[in-house]
Structure 1
Amino acid sequence: MDPILQALWIVIDPYNLAVMTLAGLFGMFVGAMPGLTATMATALLIPVTFFMPPVPAVAAIVTATAMAIFAGDIPGALIRIPGTPSSAAYVADSYKLTQKGQAELVLGCCLVFSAIGGIFGSLVLAFAAPALAEISLKFSSFEFFWIAIFGLTCAIFISTGHPIKGMVSVLLGLFIATVGIDPTAGQPRFTMGSVELLGGIDFIPVMIGMFAISELLRWVLGTRKVETLQTKQLGSVFRGQWALFLKYKWNTFRSAVIGVVIGFLPGAGSDIAAWVTYAISKKFSKEPEKFGTGHIEGVVDAGTANNSSLSGAWVPALVFGIPGDSITAIVIGVLYMKGLNPGPTLMLDQPEMLYAIFIVFMIANIVMLPLGWVAIKLFRHVLKVPREMLMPLILMACIVGSFAMNNTLFGVGIMLVMGIIAYLMEENGFPIAPTILGLVLGGLVENNFMTSMMKADGNVLAFFERPISAVLGVIVIAAWIWLIWSMIRAKPPLVTDEEASVT
């Protein structure tokens, strides 16, 4: 118990708590701004951590990351622009709940269940880190290929009523992911002689364009009625959350577990965790037809998995020195800089520092509740701004977010082009969320497939020779067979009133 008590004494130092509070507010701001990701929040904090001792430096990164992931839900619910890629999985439900006058419920749900997922992930990190990290080391390129394919399959499953259109949307995302230099052959693909395209197309300008610019176009052109959101003052965002937890307690536990498992797989992260849990939630829901129309169940599940996956990503980073995602890759550098060498020896040489990190995770997710409440109260004023003033401000924020990725106007151009494409897609009933997932997972699919094929000397059956890979492969193939069979047996979808009005 001595190392644990020593770690607790280190963490509750007033200086550390003040650092966590300021970092949390910074993370809230970054997460709520479209185009500014949790990874960017971490990167921007690195220069500040140079002047900090090890524990407050790590505490600042942990707190800012957790807050940024949650804060991405706020603009998604209020103006249909997800602040972070992981929030895109359920932005349709959260925004439509706001349109129905339930902004208070959905924002409280995002806050509370993000905290629950984060606390659960922290407990898993503290008690099961070595065992989970050992499992993650058994995953090779074969297993990661199947996981990525399963994520793409989930995108098709969540395409309400039109799997074919969902598949086309995924294929568009995969095509965009192929633009740039072939990672295997080193040859440029679909670059059309453009130097900027040699580096590929970043998903941040694409996400901003497809969610934000398409909404702006819809408002400017007036092709579809833009509902006036409820502008009444929000009451307690915590009202009704206990009832939600009792109703979806098993969903919450299931999503927290899935989030942690996906999190500790190197290269996965909160984006894939959100999409996979949303698809699983829809699959096992008693009301799957309500998903995408303003149903809170998908928000509960994906919101829980978001933050639980963050803790999972730290398992391989702390125990074996292997980054679980882009954020922990940055953190490993910070740990080395502070003299904390991540790996098996960390528990033996400096156990109090490792326990301090576990306690920081727990406190960060508890602090999320009051800080999140403040963020919601401040951001809600966006509902009171007239659309004629709000839309130009949103456009300016989108331009800044797209420009900031590479400090060039090329990102702004990508944003505008993808905004037009997304507008045309939605007007014709094609979902845009699967395109984002296809772009995010495209590189993961290609790299792991090519690596596996080179390992196996072109033998496709090698994808089924390893036990874990074989199980994952069978699951994915079974899901595709079930999907195709359901499409064959299904009756032609009825034209909804909304689609009729569009045509």
Structure 2
Amino acid sequence: MLDAYVTALGMVLDPYVLFVITASAIYGLVVGCIPGLSATMATALLVPLTFFMPPVPAIAAIVTTSTMAIFSGDIPGCLLRIPGTPASAAYVDDSYQMTLKGKPELALGIGLWFSVLGGLFGTAVMMVASPAIADFALGFGSVEFFWIVMLGLGGAVFIGSSTPLKACISLLIGLLIAMIGINNPAGQPRFTFESTEMLGGVSLIPMMVGMFACSEVMRHMVSGGGAPPVVIQKIGPIFANMWRLTKQYPWQLIRGSALGTVIGIQPGSGADMAAWMSYAMSKRFSKEPEKFGTGHPEGLIEAGASNNSSLAGAWIPALVFGIPGDSITAIAIGVLMMKNMAPGPTIFVNNPENVYALFLVFVVANLMMLPLGWAIIKVATRVLTVPRKILMPIILLFAIVGSYAINNSLFDVGVMLAFGVLAFVLEENDFPVAPVILGVVLGPLLEEYFINSMIKSDGRLIGLVDRPIAAVLAAITIGIIGWTILASMRGRQARTENTAA
């Protein structure tokens, strides 16, 4: 392992890789601090460029962009009360109240400093846990992986969403899309409508670019709007009180980082759920809960550490089992497959240097966040004045060119536009988009593992639970689904009783 880390360090310190990390960091910081442009969209737009890169810089671009964008979403939330990313919405009231009190540098400093510490905590857990879990998973068969995939799908629908029924419908749409083409165990063309372009299935990258970038452009066209009003503030020293706050709130830092990592490991959750849950936990256990929402730093510290630690946590199931922890790692899995680095426990055997290079990129990206984050904070008021009517056409142009460049095919441009319309319609009706991506990514794996398991058991369904680990995974999956359905029924009954009363 030590030799692999030495080799990986040499790969990360390559001048080209460092240039890619720096460029991706600046890109992620700028996109993340513009309201409405999410970290997922920033990552999806970057994917076509990774097609022309070697594996390590390609993954470094994805990791660095997402890490920076999650942090910089705090900037418009603090200055404008408009969260740049969904993860920043959990604590926007506290950060904006600090700005109104004349302390924007304190709120932004907390966001930057504790995001870095949380990110490094999650990275350390990922570096220690991933190889150990992979060693354990090497003994898994198709039955165990079938239930792992089912657990990922169930967790995304029933835990990672506030509306399980709508999330389930979105997931079914994704599974239906995954059935298109000839890439199935039977080799039978399905839903191709006699189109040769459809035989290979729906291309994942144009689909994701459409769902996360094109849909945002359409939303802007419908809603209109120009540049947001910028609160002009003189921003003082960013790091002035950070060490004092670290010593004052150590348990909040540790608790937020740990909870964020655990939530990140749960497929379908993501940084926004980590931030909301950590903020709620901080308020629940605080000695001063009445101060939350008035510019109190405690919730900012815990939630800020949590959302960045969840990014590293989400890579653990993505690397070990090929199951995305969030929408960003769903995109990353597509990039890994494109670079012949199929996720799974064997990736630590077949490509250990590349995996350890990914770990080191997380460390470098989080450390680079300190100087680059300081710089973007200082110029934030200028970045936030970019009119959306200028920004959106540029985003659409990059989406079209990137989708075409992958296979030099206009069909992929049509795929991108079609899925942009689909995502727009879904989100306008409060259907989550992430389960669609999850269904497309995991659908082929679910079918493959199920067919292999049935072949091994001569078609007997008992073969899915006749091994100890498979039985435990099955019980957990069924328990999660059953518990959520029961909780939903109880909530509906309580609402009915309240209405009757």
**Band the TM-score falls in, shorter-chain normalisation:** 0.5 to 0.7
State the SS of the aligned residue for 2:258.
Answer: helix
Give yes or no for the alignment of 1:386 onto 2:390: no
Partners of 2:181 and 2:190 within 8 A in 1: yes
Residue 86 of structure 2 is aligned with which of 80, 86, 92?
92
1:217 corresponding residue in structure 2: 218
Evaluate the alpha carbon distance shift between residue 310 and residue 136 of structure 1 in structure 2; reply closer, same or farther with a 3 A threshold.
same
CA distance in 2, matches of 1:253, 1:26: 30
Evaluate the alpha carbon distance shift between residue 141 and residue 355 of structure 1 in structure 2; reply closer, same or farther with a 3 A threshold.
closer
Partners of 1:178 and 1:443 within 8 A in 2: yes
CA distance in 2, matches of 1:450, 1:219: 44
CA shift, 1:476, in A, is: 0.7
1:421 corresponding residue in structure 2: 422
CA shift, 1:384, in A, is: 1.4
Residue 67 of structure 2 is aligned with which of 47, 63, 70?
70
CA distance in 2, matches of 1:309, 1:302: 11
1:228 corresponding residue in structure 2: 228
Evaluate the alpha carbon distance shift between residue 166 and residue 368 of structure 1 in structure 2; reply closer, same or farther with a 3 A threshold.
same
The one-letter code of the counterpart of 1:221 is V
Written as runs of structure 1 = structure 2, the 5 A alignment for 1:39-118 is 44-46=52-54, 63-64=60-61, 66-71=63-68, 73=70, 91-94=85-88, 109=111, 113=115, 116-118=118-120
1:306 corresponding residue in structure 2: 311
Written as runs of structure 1 = structure 2, the 5 A alignment for 1:17-416 is 21-28=18-25, 34=42, 44-46=52-54, 63-64=60-61, 66-71=63-68, 73=70, 91-94=85-88, 109=111, 113=115, 116-118=118-120, 120-122=122-124, 125=127, 131-157=132-158, 161-222=162-223, 228=228, 230=230, 232=232, 235=235, 246-247=251-252, 249-256=254-261, 275=269, 286=280, 301=306, 303-308=308-313, 310=315, 362-363=363-364, 365-371=366-372, 373-374=374-375, 381-416=382-417
CA distance in 2, matches of 1:181, 1:369: 48
CA distance in 1, matches of 2:109, 2:403: 26
CA distance in 2, matches of 1:76, 1:406: 33
CA shift, 1:131, in A, is: 4.1
The one-letter code of the counterpart of 1:487 is S
State the SS of the aligned residue for 2:184.
Answer: coil
Partners of 1:119 and 1:308 within 8 A in 2: no
1:432 corresponding residue in structure 2: 433
Evaluate the alpha carbon distance shift between residue 276 and residue 408 of structure 1 in structure 2; reply closer, same or farther with a 3 A threshold.
same
Deviations along 1:183-213, whole A, 9 cap, x unmatched? 2000111111122211111333223322332
Evaluate the alpha carbon distance shift between residue 218 and residue 27 of structure 1 in structure 2; reply closer, same or farther with a 3 A threshold.
closer
CA shift, 1:479, in A, is: 1.0
CA distance in 1, matches of 2:199, 2:74: 35
User: Where does the alignment leave 5 or more consecutive residues of structure 2 unmatched?
Assistant: 32-40, 78-83, 283-292, 294-298, 322-331, 342-346, 496-501
RMSD of equivalent CA atoms: 5.2
CA distance in 1, matches of 2:154, 2:491: 18
CA distance in 2, matches of 1:155, 1:114: 27
TM-score of the pair, normalised by structure 2:
0.66
Partners of 2:149 and 2:445 within 8 A in 1: yes
Partners of 1:158 and 1:279 within 8 A in 2: no
CA distance in 1, matches of 2:70, 2:277: 23
The total of aligned residue pairs comes to 435
Stretch moving more, 168-177 or 34-43: 34-43
Deviations along 1:446-492, whole A, 9 cap, x unmatched? 22222222222222222222222211111110111112222322328
CA distance in 2, matches of 1:493, 1:227: 44
Deviations along 1:5-58, whole A, 9 cap, x unmatched? x969x9699x94756632421443676674657876766442xx9xxxxxxxx7
The one-letter code of the counterpart of 2:208 is M
Stretch moving more, 160-169 or 35-44: 35-44
1:446 corresponding residue in structure 2: 447
Stretch moving more, 303-312 or 148-157: 303-312
CA shift, 1:69, in A, is: 3.6
State the SS of the aligned residue for 1:483.
Answer: helix
1:55 corresponding residue in structure 2: none
User: Where does the alignment leave 5 or more consecutive residues of structure 1 unmatched?
Assistant: 50-57, 81-89, 263-271, 289-293, 317-323, 334-340, 348-352, 495-503
Deviations along 1:350-383, whole A, 9 cap, x unmatched? xxx9999987764554334334555677787553
Evaluate the alpha carbon distance shift between residue 122 and residue 286 of structure 1 in structure 2; reply closer, same or farther with a 3 A threshold.
closer
Identity across matched positions, percent: 32
Evaluate the alpha carbon distance shift between residue 411 and residue 329 of structure 1 in structure 2; reply closer, same or farther with a 3 A threshold.
closer
CA distance in 2, matches of 1:486, 1:415: 38
Partners of 2:260 and 2:306 within 8 A in 1: yes
Partners of 1:121 and 1:309 within 8 A in 2: no
CA shift, 1:135, in A, is: 1.1
CA distance in 2, matches of 1:23, 1:194: 38
The one-letter code of the counterpart of 1:275 is S
CA distance in 2, matches of 1:158, 1:342: 29
